[in-house]
Amino acid sequence: MLKRLLASLPILVFVSMSQTTPPPASPAQLKAWFPPEQLMTIGVYYYPEAWPESQWERDIANIKKFGFEYIHVAEFAWSFMEPEEGHFEFGWLDKTVALAAKYGLKVILCTPSATPPAWLARKHPEILMINAQGTRMNHGSREQADWSSLVYRDYVEKIDERMAERYGANPTVWGWQLDNELSHYGQGMSYAPDSQTKFREWLREKYGAIDRLNDDWGAAFWSQRYNDFSQVEMPNQTELIAGVNPHAMLDLHRWFAHEAAAYLRFQAGVLRRHVKNQWITTNFMMNYELIDPALSQNDLDILSFTMYPVSGGLFRGNLGFRMGDPAHVSFTHDYLRNLGSGIEGPMELQPGQVNWAPVNPLPQPGVVHAWISRAFALGGRFVCVYRYRQPAYGDELYHKTMVEPDGVTLAPGGKEFVESIEDVRKLRSLYTPHAMPPQDYEARRTALLIDWDSRWDMENHRQTTRWNTTGHWLKYYRAIKSLGAPVDVITDAKDFGKYPFVVSPARQLVDKDFIGRLTKYAENGGTLVLTCRTGQKDRRGHIWETLWAEPIYDLIGSAIPRYDVLPPGRDGKVTAFGKEYAWGVWADLLEPRPGTEVLARYADQFYKGTAAATGHKVGKGHVIYIGVDSEDGQLEADLLHSVYQSAGAKPASYPLNLMIDWRDGFWAATNFTDTDQPVPAAPNATFVSGGRTIPAGGVAIWR
């Protein structure tokens, strides 16, 4: 009751939470958990509750024998740990942890909040989420609880506290994962009553007075004005006759991400009451739809994500569907590494076919090894395989695992894990501390400056069904990697002044201050690349009362009087470097000012000859504006190549999807193209893995 009263006083709750949650780990603690000389550590998910106790020791002994260094357990085991309300049974978990200790394995424990037991859902159906259509989710799957529910939080607090009391000082327990892929999967957000209340509270705190909300939400449009916060509900397109208010949607996204982070902070706070020398993380999903890991960077000691590159997407080329998108995977490492402590890695990686995609093809032989090597190349400190044994029953029985259904024979992906474990052993033996990155490589270091609000706003209001914000980000990411450049994916909360190159794709929402920061960056000698859909709106999502996107005209040296988009199936042409490229998604039509150079022009449509990309000098630096979004990303790669070359950064010319990075004294190349690729190793290079030519889905690591 007291908790509920407090929850109606948002400011008080905020203050008390920030007081009870100690800051994340110190550098010394992080170093002890993840010694730099160990480079990367590989582990595996194991579900003892699903197998006869007589097999646990055999399985754990084999896990050790294969070279794994930790197991991940208990994430969905609430009904085993608390089979009846208030009745706790940890004997089975004690035995598992003891077996891990016996075989020298560390343990990651997981809070079970993704799978509340049946007794809880039946006793308190109000904890269940309600989707946009108004359907209440039911017991029988996972992530069905509304994490805004105060009743649910009470129960989560109890089980988390019991676990932390029992294992928080156990030396075998290395760390904790909160929940699992916090989300409601395809069901989106919960519209249950506690979510509605919390959304309103958040708005009240943000705006103070209802008229400020009315202004920001543009509520004069269609008479949407509110008299009081109590009238506001979560905007829900399925209940609306016509289009949803885009400004309300932007706030809904901001609130939902904030609320998810608050929930993680709450669980971390409960564990920290008892956890002594163990880290805390959660495993974010890589699709970045609704949750922003940056909001949890000060609550979690390390960051992790789940990685399923082959999951039914065609991606590109002949073999993309068997290898996944290396840009997507790499982008996630480069984002998480730049948050919080900087320690990150995939907490789940598929070792073979999954069961949940529309089609579940076999991965390309070698590609599991390549994904693990990519994690290494980008600074990943751990990789955990999902999962050890193939379930004989349940929704995921088609999911391939480390071992075959017999529980002992290594599956093909399992063999690739073992191969990677062998790589790590060799890398450790060759490790030299404080290796300095090659100067040429560092001289190309690029900040990919992304903005979640812009993404949410553009996804709410795409203006063409062909628009895909993350697809656009990844197009640039892929192009930058083809230059052999290291990338830091950051937001404008970070200082980008030190980077030689900043690429800020589709930065729709800006303010004068941000434009000032970009201008200063270029004036000081930086090379800034901006792309289509930039500068059109203020941070509320309102269009500027100026010419279209005029606040960025001085910065980019061009006006943008119009833009075009083409219907699906219809492409336009653009020329640059004497070549023709196809586009269809977005085209800003640029009007360069005197002195601004034209880098690409539209080659057809009624505006043939109009500038599609421009560049000009600003102070000691340059600002490039690429107003067109090409179909295959080659135009972006070619433009960036010429921009980096002009800036004296000696870019490489790797084919798109051959990715090569340097880490701790080693080069690692992963080939996600369709054909064999040579790697640029020096004649006297020593290879840890692979050789001078790598096949599709292959790896080479050398120094």
Closest approach of ligand GAL to the CB of residue 530, in Å:
35
Tell me whether residue 111 or residue 338 sits nearer to ligand GAL (CB atom).
111
- What whole-number distance in Å separates Cα of residue 604 and Cα of residue 458? 27
Q: Is the peptide bond before 387 cis (omega within 30 degrees of 0)?
A: yes
In Å, what is the CA distance from 451 to each residue of 458, 535, 623? 11, 12, 19
Question: Across the strands, what pairs with 489?
Answer: 448
**Which DSSP string do the residues of 352-380 spell out, in sequence order?**
S--SSSSS-PPPPTTHHHHHHHHHHHTT-
The helix/strand/coil state of 449 is strand
Q: Which lies closer to ligand GAL via its Cβ, residue 390 or residue 482?
A: 390
Q: Compute how many other C-beta atoms are within 10 angstroms of the C-beta atom of residue 206.
A: 14
The rounded distance, in Å, linking the Cα atoms of 190 and 196 is 9
| Closest separation in Å from C-beta 351 to ligand GAL | 10
Is 144 or 614 the residue whose CB approaches ligand GAL more closely?
144
> Which residues 56-95 are close enough to bind ligand GAL by CB under 6 A?
none
When the beta carbons of 82 and 181 are compared against ligand GAL, the nearer one is 181
Residue with tokens 């600002």: 623
- The residue type at 519: T
CB of 257 to ligand GAL, least distance (A): 19
C-beta separation of 68 from 418 below 8 A: no
Among 348, 457, 638, 661, which residue interacts with ligand GAL (rule: CB under 6 A)? 348
Q: According to CB under 6 A, which residues from 467 to 506 bind ligand GAL?
A: none
604 φ, ψ to 5°?
-155, -165
Under the binding rule (CB under 6 A), the answer on residue 334 touching ligand GAL is no
- As measured in angstroms, the least distance from the Cβ of 108 to ligand GAL is 13
190 binds ligand GAL (CB under 6 A): no
Residue closer to ligand GAL (CB basis): 111 or 180: 180
- Does position 201 bind ligand GAL by CB under 6 A? no
Q: How far is CA 676 from the centre of its chain?
A: 29
Please, what is the minimum distance in Å from the beta carbon of residue 389 to ligand GAL?
13
Q: Tell me the C-alpha distance between 240 and 125, whole Å.
A: 27
Query: Which lies closer to ligand GAL via its Cβ, residue 306 or residue 508?
Result: 306
Cβ closest to ligand GAL, residue 305 vs residue 583: 305
Distance CA 213, CA 231 (A): 12
- Closest contact distance (angstroms) between CB of 359 and ligand GAL is 14
Distance (Å, whole) CA 601 – CA 613: 7
- Asked whether 117 and 123 are in contact (CB, 8 A), the reply is no
Q: Is 421 helix (H, G, I), strand (E, B) or coil?
A: helix
Stretch of residues binding ligand GAL (CB under 6 A), selected from 102-110, 171-179, 348-356, 574-582: 348-356
Q: How far is the CB of 308 from ligand GAL (least distance, A)?
A: 6
Instruction: Check if the beta carbon of residue 671 is closer than 8 Å to that of residue 697.
Output: yes
Q: What are phi and psi of 122, to 5 degrees?
A: -75, -35
Q: How deeply is 477 buried, as exposed, middle or buried, from its count of CB atoms within 10 A (0-12, 13-18, 19+)? A: buried
Minimum CB separation from ligand GAL for residue 51, in Å? 17
Nearer to ligand GAL, 142 or 200 (CB): 142
To ligand GAL, the closest distance from the beta carbon of 372 in angstroms equals 17
Least separation, in Å, of the C-beta of 404 and ligand GAL? 17
CB of 143 to ligand GAL, least distance (A): 10
Question: Residue 286 or residue 528: which is nearer to ligand GAL going by CB?
Answer: 286
Query: Is position 533 an interface residue for ligand GAL (rule: CB under 6 A)?
Result: no
Q: Can you tell me the distance from the alpha carbon of 584 to that of 69, in angstroms, rounded to the nearest whole number?
A: 49
Nearer to ligand GAL, 283 or 504 (CB): 283
Smallest gap from residue 71 Cβ to ligand GAL (A): 15
Choose which of 77, 354, 450, 611 interacts with ligand GAL (CB under 6 A).
Answer: 354
- Contacts (CB under 6 A) with ligand GAL, residues 301-320: 306, 308
| CB of residue 180 to ligand GAL, shortest distance in Å | 5
The nearest distance, CB 252 to ligand GAL, in angstroms, is 24
Among residues 383 and 448, whose Cβ is nearest to ligand GAL? 383
Distance CA 562, CA 607 (A): 10
Binding mask of the shown chain, residues 143 to 182, with x at each position contacting ligand GAL by CB under 6 A? -------------------------------------xx-
Q: Least distance in Å: CB of 396 to ligand GAL? A: 6
Does residue 386 bind ligand GAL (CB under 6 A)? yes
Nearer to ligand GAL, 112 or 690 (CB): 112
Q: Which is nearer to ligand GAL, 177 or 278 (CB)?
A: 177
396 binds ligand GAL (CB under 6 A): yes
* Count of C-beta atoms within a 10 Å radius of residue 123: 13
Name the CA radius of gyration of the chain, rounded.
Answer: 26
**3-state class (DSSP) for residue 581:** strand
Strands 611-618, 621-626: parallel, antiparallel or unpaired by DSSP?
antiparallel
Number of chain positions touching ligand GAL (CB under 6 A): 10
Q: Which is nearer to ligand GAL, 470 or 508 (CB)?
A: 470
Count the alpha carbons within 13 Å of 467 in the hemisphere toward its beta carbon. 21
CB of 208 to ligand GAL, least distance (A): 39
CA distance 463 to 443: 38
Instruction: Report the residue number, 178 or 458, with the smaller CB distance to ligand GAL.
Output: 178
Quick check: 399 binds ligand GAL (CB under 6 A)? yes
* DSSP-based helix, strand, coil % in the chain, nearest 5: 35, 20, 45
- Which is closer to ligand GAL, CB of 45 or CB of 476? 45
Tokens read off for 378: 């980008």
Residue found under tokens 């008390």: 16
Which residues 6+ apart lie within 8 Å of 606 measured at CB? none
Asked if residues 36 and 434 have their Cβ atoms less than 8 Å apart, the reply is no
Q: Look at residues 516, 514, 549 and name the one whose alpha carbon lies nearest to residue 627.
A: 549
Q: How far is the CB of 387 from ligand GAL (least distance, A)?
A: 7
Q: Which is nearer to ligand GAL, 161 or 396 (CB)?
A: 396
State the Cα–Cα distance between residues 9 and 300, nearest whole angstrom. 25
- Which pair of structure tokens corresponds to residue 638? 């070619």
Contacts with 140 (C-beta within 8 Å, 6 or more apart), sequence order? none
* Max Cα–Cα distance, the chain, nearest Å: 79
User: Site residues (CB under 6 A) for ligand GAL?
Assistant: 180-181, 306, 308, 348, 354, 356, 386, 396, 399
